[in-house]
Amino acid sequence: MGTIKTRALPAIWSKPAEFKTAVDAFASASAAFLTAAKG
């Protein structure tokens, strides 16, 4: 897992806006999944 993170860092630094969009999308997807899981 550490290798993947290290490889991903340059991409995050060169495209911070895209990274933030991905994080926001992941966060909302996680929230939706948790809501659905709770029923």
pLDDT tens, the chain, 39 aa long? 556 566 667 766 778 788 889 889 999 999 999 999 998
pLDDT for res 15:
80
pLDDT for res 28:
94
d(CA 6, CA 15): 15
Query: Is the overall model pTM greater than 0.75, yes or no?
Result: no
d(CA 9, CA 17): 14
